[in-house]
Amino acid sequence: MKAYDHKKIEKKWQNIWEKKGIYNAKNNSPQPKYYSLIEFPYPSGAGLHIGHPRSYTGMDIVSRKRRMEGYNVLYPIGWDAFGLPTENYAIKTGKDPRIVTKKNTDTFRKQLKSIGFSFDWSREINTTDPKYYKWTQWIFLQFFKKGLAYKAKININWCPKDKTGLANEEVIGGCCERCGTKVEKREKEQWMLAITKYAERLDKDLDDVDYLPQIKLAQRNWIGKSEGAEIEFKIKHNPSLTLPEGEGEMPRFFTTNPELWKVLQDRVLEMRKNPTNGEKIMWDLLRRNTTEYHFRRQHIVDRFIADFICVEKKLIVEVDGDIHDYKKAEDKERTKILNQLGFEIVRFSNDEIIKNREDIFQSIILKLNSISSEALSFGEGLGGVKVFTTRPDTIFGATYLVLAPEHELITNLKSQITNFNEVEKYIKEVKNKTEIERTSDDKVKTGVEIKGVKAINPANKEEIPIWIADYVLATYGTGAIMAVPADDARDKEFAEKFKLPIVKDYKKADFEDFGKKITRFKLRDWVFSRQRYWGEPIPVVHCEKCGIVPVLEKDLPVELPKVKNYQPTDSGESPLANISKWVNTKCPKCKGKAKRETDTMPNWAGSSWYYLRYTDPKNSKEFASKKNLKYWLTSNFSLSFGEGQGGVDWYNGGNEHTTLHLLYSRFWHKFLFDQGLVPTSEPYKKRTSHGMILGEGGVKMSKSIGNVINPDEIVKTYGADTLRVYEMFMGPFNQSVAWSTESIIGSRRFIEKVWRIGERVLKQKNFSVPDLKPVKNSEDGRFQSKIGGMSQNSSLVKILNKTIKKVEEDIEGMYFNTAISSMMILATEMEKTENVQIEDYKKFLQILSPFAPHVTEELWNTLGEKKSIHLSSWPKWDENLIKDEKIKIVVQINGKVRAEIMIRVEENEETIKQKALMNEAILKYLAGKDAKKVIYVKNRLINIVV
């Protein structure tokens, strides 16, 4: 046997495996399936990072173990190749991103193959392949058809120098990542996906999946479900406002502000003196009615004079003279404003009143009866404002309201607000604030009181001031809060700054007493547009006549055309906008002139469904056949699509993707499930994550620090098996660990040791008949005889069986480091033991094979096995061989270890205690003292308390 030459061995077996296709998954096999998944890489120009193999080896070990357990395993790979780095490279160099991507994926493929992952390469996919993104576009159209993809004007990050919209991740500290210019906010129309429609299910269904607890928590925090109450606060005029002296008396039912009242009052008096015929009749009717309803005439509401009004019911009765035929539009506007303030309006002409006075009166009474009693509480006439709170119990402590500057109430109350100029100025200031200023660390609270109006706290009926401030967000809740400065740090800070009252031992309220229970989410709809070149074109056209029209499914994919320049246009559109030949097209509906959408999709799109494509990567008729989806996601052909259980069996990936990618793909999957297109309601049954590999010394690996490790170099010098074992051994799989080239040697030595044992085992096999020489049992020093060449219950067999069990369990829990540690112990033991049985050695090779697939395959083959070790059956451990009949227990005095004794497992507690108390060393310590208490922990220790 030759010396261990990793270069030869690894190349040799990689070729054989590929030629035989031993890792190719079989569709619809009667075998049970197992679908294990890693996040497909972005093929960057820098080549494979040393961190990639960590995650891939972890799942490779799981996949290989599953194959040995008899599963038909799908462990696929592909490329998530759309995205910014390639596009930026294209902008800089003018090279076609297609060519760059091809070059990068070629490098990545070669590198991954050199590490010996058991990927099914026949299912390789690429998100930038038109045959793939045809289906990304197709899924988008399904969203569009269900109304879940829509266009909306939203604020985006805008770089005024580059004249382009920026993704959040391109904004570093409020500045453009590329040119360093301060980023502005700009309103633009964007495509949105309505993920918020799924917020409740995305949160709730986490109960049923097997994700690491921290992953579930991160998802839940991101979705941000909170339960609270919506409470309405009535608004009224500030009663402290009085008219200037000598200007008359304040009316009892004041429904406008004093300035307007002053202006309009004369006109009111004049109108009362000179009623029209219709008005006269109406006033007689309403005044003399015998019902409980009380009417007033010519009453000022907001900026208008209402003819007749029942203030308690907020009903206005208008009597229109001939002149009203000419000002219908004005009346309409007036009605709209009054409706917003909560008034209902009925309108009659002079003629109608003269002819049908009794009928009209009856209809007014009926109308009044139909208005709910809630309106009766009205006495001031300005409606209310709804606030959202998770702490309705603190309502007695609410001493003021705060509205977001964007709140609609501010324009609605315009005529009531006495300091509108000041308010408007503040709103403008807030709008001009950049993102950095609004989110800066000091975050000084600003705000303005809305003067002229007050809110009524429904709990204690107290009048409280209303403020606007930008610490209240328009996009969350109702855009308005009740401030409880005694209880909330932010409200307290605000109240202290603006000298607002803080009430400390307020009464707790019951949850249901005010307002109604309501659920809110932090999650926002997904901004799905990018003004970029290197992404999937959004497959719709804009028609002059028909508006937004989806591209016909038969015309998919809408292929990304070649362009000369990858820079976005001056107006911030994608470079696609410059290709008029591509942009100008026909409307699929009316065949008239139309323009193509030039926005592209974000690179989250292709990765939201890629695991589905792996089940049927070459299908040109569907994104994947139902048959394959059923098999790979549920292992059940007869299952109807509505049943919902299953998904990818095990998905491992980075912590950086536990919110966005995971949430997005769960959202797409649930949508497809609702359309009957996938058989399960969740994409992934189980999700784990791996930690990062940092540079030596625990800092980030980066070109600028110069601590980047090239995996090719490691594979060349130490071999793929050593790299794999080292990356699994270096620390806990889910934690970040610092790379140490110095330490790799330990993993290499371990493999060489396994090789040396193999050499010896092979020699025995070839040159000697299994002999009957006794083998020394290292544990108790006795010699054990062997029967028929097999050593029975030797210490080695015991360790072997224990190790099989441990490795088996550790792989399932991803405790790869301790699995390797236990195999190192086994190897050391085997090397010490003479006459290692070939069958025992082979079992060792088998449990090591998922970690070090090449060297174990070579040794397995050398020992005469024809079939691949990776297709062999996972060895079974024997409980009886693991059991100890004698064990060592520790004797403590007052918790300190003073002696060790050997006991037989069947000995009873009393005997063992006696043994401990009679122990020589213990007697010495106990001299002259009484044992107060003797504690026995089974198979562990005895503690004597003195």
Q: Which positions from 706 through 735 interact with RNA, judged by CB under 7 A?
A: 729-732, 735
Q: Binder to RNA among 23, 191, 261, 471 (CB under 7 A)?
A: 471
What's the closest the beta carbon of residue 422 comes to RNA, in angstroms? 19
State the SS3 of 379-415. Answer: CCCCCEEEEEECCHHHHHHCCEEEECCCCCHHHHCHH
Closer residue to RNA, CB minimum distance, 471 or 611? 471
Contact 859, 755 (CB under 8 A): yes
| Burial zone of 107 (CB within 10 Å; 0-12 exposed, 13-18 middle, 19+ buried) | middle
| The one segment of 40-48, 277-285, 624-632, 736-744 that binds RNA by CB under 7 A | 736-744
What's the closest the beta carbon of residue 362 comes to RNA, in angstroms? 46
Closer residue to RNA, CB minimum distance, 236 or 798? 798
What's the closest the beta carbon of residue 930 comes to RNA, in angstroms? 14
What's the closest the beta carbon of residue 521 comes to RNA, in angstroms? 8
What's the closest the beta carbon of residue 155 comes to RNA, in angstroms? 13
Closer residue to RNA, CB minimum distance, 110 or 438? 438
What is the rounded distance in angstroms from the CA atom of residue 601 to the CA atom of residue 591? Answer: 26
Per CB under 7 A, contacts with RNA among 887-946 are 888, 890, 892, 894-898, 900, 933, 935, 937, 940-941, 943, 945
Return the CA Rg of the chain: 39
Per CB under 7 A, contacts with RNA among 188-217 are 213-214, 217
What's the closest the beta carbon of residue 484 comes to RNA, in angstroms? 7
What's the closest the beta carbon of residue 385 comes to RNA, in angstroms? 13
Largest CA distance in the chain: 131
Half-sphere exposure of 216 (CA within 13 A, CB side): 13
Closer residue to RNA, CB minimum distance, 324 or 445? 445
Count residues near RNA (CB under 7 A): 80
What is the rounded distance in angstroms from the CA atom of residue 755 to the CA atom of residue 858? Answer: 10
Per CB under 7 A, contacts with RNA among 777-816 are 815
For strand 448-456 and strand 226-237, is the pairing parallel, antiparallel, or unpaired?
antiparallel
User: 422, 520, 521: which is closest to 468 by C-alpha?
Assistant: 422
Contact 191, 479 (CB under 8 A): no
Per CB under 7 A, contacts with RNA among 109-138 are none
Closer residue to RNA, CB minimum distance, 323 or 444? 444
What's the closest the beta carbon of residue 844 comes to RNA, in angstroms? 15
Q: Binder to RNA among 441, 570, 885, 910 (CB under 7 A)?
A: 441
Q: Binder to RNA among 479, 606, 617, 647 (CB under 7 A)?
A: 479
Q: Binder to RNA among 406, 752, 759, 865 (CB under 7 A)?
A: 752
Can you state the angle between helices 744-767 and 711-718, rounded to 10 degrees? 30
Applying CB under 7 A, does 173 fall inside the site for RNA?
no
What's the closest the beta carbon of residue 34 comes to RNA, in angstroms? 26
User: 913, 140, 10, 291: which is closest to 599 by C-alpha?
Assistant: 140
Q: Binder to RNA among 44, 107, 196, 226 (CB under 7 A)?
A: 226
Per CB under 7 A, contacts with RNA among 809-868 are 815, 817-818, 820-821, 824-825, 828, 831-832
Can you state the angle between helices 213-223 and 660-674, rounded to 10 degrees? 80
Closer residue to RNA, CB minimum distance, 703 or 933? 933
What's the closest the beta carbon of residue 401 comes to RNA, in angstroms? 11
Contact 460, 509 (CB under 8 A): no
Can you state the angle between helices 744-767 and 720-729, rounded to 10 degrees? 120
Structure tokens at 782: 């006795």
What's the closest the beta carbon of residue 734 comes to RNA, in angstroms? 8
What's the closest the beta carbon of residue 190 comes to RNA, in angstroms? 17
Contact 465, 454 (CB under 8 A): yes
Closer residue to RNA, CB minimum distance, 355 or 888? 888
Contact 827, 855 (CB under 8 A): no
Q: Binder to RNA among 325, 505, 742, 920 (CB under 7 A)?
A: 742
- Nearest-5° angle of CA 939, CA 877, CA 865? 150
Closer residue to RNA, CB minimum distance, 159 or 893? 893
User: 896 phi and psi, to 5 degrees?
Assistant: -110, 130
Closer residue to RNA, CB minimum distance, 118 or 658? 658
b/e sequence 642-667, b meaning 16+ C-beta within 10 Å: eebebbbbbbbbbbebbeebbbbbbb
Closer residue to RNA, CB minimum distance, 450 or 472? 472
Closer residue to RNA, CB minimum distance, 200 or 270? 200
Q: Binder to RNA among 44, 349, 736, 861 (CB under 7 A)?
A: 736
Per CB under 7 A, contacts with RNA among 234-293 are none
Closer residue to RNA, CB minimum distance, 308 or 400? 400
Per CB under 7 A, contacts with RNA among 353-412 are 388-391, 404
Cβ atoms within 10 Å of 793's Cβ, excluding its own: 15
Closer residue to RNA, CB minimum distance, 618 or 703? 703
Q: Binder to RNA among 753, 760, 765, 913 (CB under 7 A)?
A: 753
Structure tokens at 942: 């005895």
State the SS3 of 123-136. Answer: HCEECCCHHHHHHH
What's the closest the beta carbon of residue 764 comes to RNA, in angstroms? 18
What is the rounded distance in angstroms from the CA atom of residue 342 to the CA atom of residue 383? Answer: 6
Q: Is 153 helix (H, G, I), strand (E, B) or coil?
A: strand
For strand 448-456 and strand 463-468, is the pairing parallel, antiparallel, or unpaired?
antiparallel
Q: Binder to RNA among 31, 740, 785, 792 (CB under 7 A)?
A: 740
Structure tokens at 650: 């095990």
Per CB under 7 A, contacts with RNA among 503-532 are 520, 522
**Which amino acid type is present at position 672?**
L
Closer residue to RNA, CB minimum distance, 7 or 627? 7
Per CB under 7 A, contacts with RNA among 656-685 are 656, 659
Closer residue to RNA, CB minimum distance, 391 or 786? 391
Does the CA dihedral 427-431-433-435 come out positive or negative?
positive
Per CB under 7 A, contacts with RNA among 542-581 are none
What's the closest the beta carbon of residue 435 comes to RNA, in angstroms? 10
| The one segment of 134-142, 251-259, 435-443, 643-651 that binds RNA by CB under 7 A | 435-443
What is the rounded distance in angstroms from the CA atom of residue 104 to the CA atom of residue 79? Answer: 10
What's the closest the beta carbon of residue 940 comes to RNA, in angstroms? 3
What's the closest the beta carbon of residue 440 comes to RNA, in angstroms? 8
| The one segment of 52-60, 277-285, 441-449, 504-512 that binds RNA by CB under 7 A | 441-449
Closer residue to RNA, CB minimum distance, 232 or 380? 232
b/e sequence 161-187, b meaning 16+ C-beta within 10 Å: ebebbbbeebbeebbbbbeeeebebee
